[in-house]
Structure 1
């Protein structure tokens, strides 16, 4: 009797779970959003029968100017959805070019994600949906049927910072089964980012897999550290637990990170099969990471043969009083005299850091320091930084 009761109870439980699953399925009404059409226009849908107004905000609409902690920047535009039958709202975009896009909905003033699209990405404290329009450079952002590298999260000891810290490392296809040694690219994030930024927002693993498979880039290890020295890991991944990420945290650009960067290099060269010399080290970064890259590469002027500044946040700072920031021109001259193979600067025409980068290039010109310069469309966005990585990585090693 007890066995029958238990069996009945379990069956009822399974039925209940099944009914809940079906109920969730029915509530979704099998809405497809986003729906990419053959001409690469996209339709977005949302079931919200009681809403008064719904907008979509995304990076494929005309940009608007917004105020940020870094100054006035380009922000995503907005467009209205139209309410149709059964309380389903719709918006159809124009034909979109190849790209990884992100978007959110604004329902009666409240910004939220698309419940019919489970693919999300975090940028600082904002979470948005994503989708890819294929073709062109966006093919490099896809996971294609090719050999794949590995992505690991390691913890390294930083004696200079007095803590163990988390780091993201990409190793190329075949690394685990070979005895070969590889060159290393140290790839640094911007303000508000962490060791997750380049691998998620930047699509680093997909880009490197595709470039290597196409023979456009040499197999290499890519090291993506956390540039926020008060954190041992990204929010929610370290000892500080779950907390809201901030755009700028204390000590982010005060010289501490740059002064202790060799802790990262020593860990990598002690734990991975690498070619541990200047000719096989590269360093690059976006925005704040470009600031860090510029200072690290000149503070250790005989360490990196390849340097990449992506929309670098090179500007005067009141807190830039540490030893790392002293004698900038003198250390740049040392870096120049030691020789390097590539000093690569890229920025968008409407980037709020454009003038600062122009001034920096003028200083390099006056010194006679050689560099390559790429000027793209657009502003201070991941859309540019992903492209910069696809152009920079093939130039290495």
Structure 2
């Protein structure tokens, strides 16, 4: 095996004058070149969220999916594609397709898993995307903690961000509970959402209050993210039981109690926020109305709104009355954000109409595009500075 690895590495170094293939190569004008050595390939393509989006449908609804572009074969079987226009500042993902087989870029070691898909990533810096970088600022700490859930009768794992200076101080900090979407887990906001980088950079710039951020696993049938539990290296899937049946909402006080007992927290409503994307937005909506004295700040990012009709849980009963009680207690911020082409746009529109009719005050934020991580990172950067003032 070492022999073949050496031969392949030597071949690439020889081709590039003792330098490995560079891919992606971000040019000074922010155009980007991708390369892959595949001398026996008939066709090499690239797909990524920097390409024009295409519409697709699944059992979960309509989605935007990345387009596809062809690479051109050059010398010694090295295929290339350069973006025709400069890319805007952003964190991008991509994969190669070699003769119909999707694969990652062997020249790029930076990979992220999204449910059961793995792809390469790169950042074009500038503007908001600089918040997604590891910059020269004071950094917080990310830890993975296990807690016992009496409601679910199992040990469960969550991720906790503590801000720079937490370990050295005796201060108490407000807590922001940040929830993932369907198929995600306690790693999603860290890997795909760049949550720790965003918090580090906003806090360092004085644009956000220092806070603890708790990223839970919203799949109550799981102990932890795939590969991190006693089940071993299971195949990640979106088809998990008990994701939106009321169990997550009912068991959420177990998380709050653990965090309050373990960390130096502000143990009152004004010191707690909750937000989430998609399924996590659904959970945030229903957790916050189920426990109206628990959270003063609520964020719904591209949220699912109501459960399927066949779902029966007391959590979802009397929704309007529970919302009335919640809004009568005057939450400091109730924030709804969604993209114009999101498949959940209509459901959010109808929900906002109901809130308007009832006179429930909220703040609305709309972006382009759809149900994608690019939007959810934007929402996080907008939401966090509004917390705990």
Which TM-score band (shorter chain)?
A: over 0.9
Check conservation: 2:245, 2:307, Cα contact below 8 A: no
Structure with greater Cα Rg: 1
In the TM superposition, what is the alpha-carbon distance from 1:214 to its structure 2 partner?
Answer: 0.3
Q: TM-score, normalised by structure 2?
A: 0.96
Partner of 1:7: none
Aligned 8 A contact 1:188 1:293 in 2: yes
Select which of 229, 232, 237 maps to 1:238.
229
Give yes or no for the alignment of 1:173 onto 2:149.
Answer: no
2:34 is aligned with 1:44: yes
Matched with 1:359 is 350
Deviations 1:134-166 (A, max 9, x none): 000000000001100000000000000010101
Contact 1:301 1:334 in 2 (8 A): yes
Alignment of 1:154-165 (within 5 A): 154-165=145-156
Q: How far apart are residue 72 of structure 1 and its match?
A: 1.3
Tell me the distance in 2 between the aligned counterparts of 1:330 and 1:243: 41
- Once the two structures are superposed, residues 44-95 of structure 1 have per-residue CA deviations (whole angstroms, 9 ceiling, x without a partner) of 0000011111110000111111122311111010000001110000000121
Q: Specify whether residues 165 and 27 from structure 1 end up closer, same or farther in structure 2 by C-alpha distance, changes over 3 A only.
A: farther
Q: How many angstroms apart in 1 are the aligned matches of 2:28 and 2:370?
A: 29
Q: Does 1:376 align with 2:335?
A: no
Q: 1:25 aligns to what?
A: 9
Q: Give the Cα separation in 2 of the matches to 1:313 and 1:70.
A: 11
Query: How many corresponding residue pairs?
Result: 381
Q: 1:98 aligns with which of 89, 95, 98?
A: 89
Q: Which of 102, 107, 132 is matched with 1:141 structurally?
A: 132
TM-superposed deviation, 1:243:
1.2
Task: Write out per-residue CA displacement over residues 165-205 of structure 1, whole angstroms, 9 at most, x where no aligned residue.
Answer: 01000000010111010000000000000000001100000
d(CA) in 1 for partners of 2:159, 2:51 = 33
Is the Cα contact below 8 Å between 1:28 and 1:116 reproduced in 2?
no
**Which residue of the other structure, out of 239, 243, 253, is the alignment partner of 1:248?**
239
Unaligned runs of 5+ in 2: 14-19
Alignment-derived partner of residue 60 in structure 2 = 70
| RMSD, aligned CA | 1.2
* CA deviation after TM superposition for structure 1 residue 247, in Å: 1.4
Partners in 1 of 2:206 and 2:310 — Cα distance? 44
TM-score, length of structure 1 as denominator length: 0.94
How far did 1:24 drift?
4.4
Deviation of 1:320 (Å) = 2.9
| Ranges in structure 1 where 5+ consecutive residues have no aligned partner | 1-15
